[in-house]
């Protein structure tokens, strides 16, 4: 029996970001965590209204007043350290 009509659709917070090629893409936040006193989000690319299996990406999350700001992690060493921590905790 097919489960198509009974599938549960999850809603994710999303944000837009720019790729290295300059394309605007939509990302879905799939997890949040804290590491060394900073907040991070784990996001997946959205393709055709579905979360892509192309991998997960880590971004830094900060608060500016009432607004949440999600930024790329500019330092490659920091990105590696944070991504490694996340992979180990999972």
pLDDT digits (tens), the chain, 90 positions:
444 444 455 688 999 999 889 999 999 999 999 999 999 999 999 988 889 888 899 999 999 999 999 999 999 999 999 999 999 987
CA–CA separation, 34 vs 29, rounded Å? 14
Tell me how far the alpha carbon of residue 21 is from its chain's centroid.
Answer: 19
- What does the pLDDT read at residue 32? 96
- What does the pLDDT read at residue 90? 74
The pTM of the whole model exceeds 0.95:
no
- What does the pLDDT read at residue 69? 94
- What does the pLDDT read at residue 9? 55
Do the beta carbons of residue 73 and residue 58 sit within 8 Å?
yes
């Amino acid at each position: 029996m097919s489960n198509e009509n009974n599938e549960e659709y999850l809603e994710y917070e999303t944000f837009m970001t720019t790729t290295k090629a300059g394309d605007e893409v939509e990302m879905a936040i799939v997890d949040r965590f804290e590491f060394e006193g900073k907040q991070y989000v784990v996001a997946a690319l959205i393709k055709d209204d579905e979360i892509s299996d192309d991998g997960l990406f880590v971004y830094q999350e900060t608060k500016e007043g009432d607004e949440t700001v999600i930024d790329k992690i500019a330092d490659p060493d920091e990105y590696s350290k944070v991504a490694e921590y996340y992979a180990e905790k999972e």
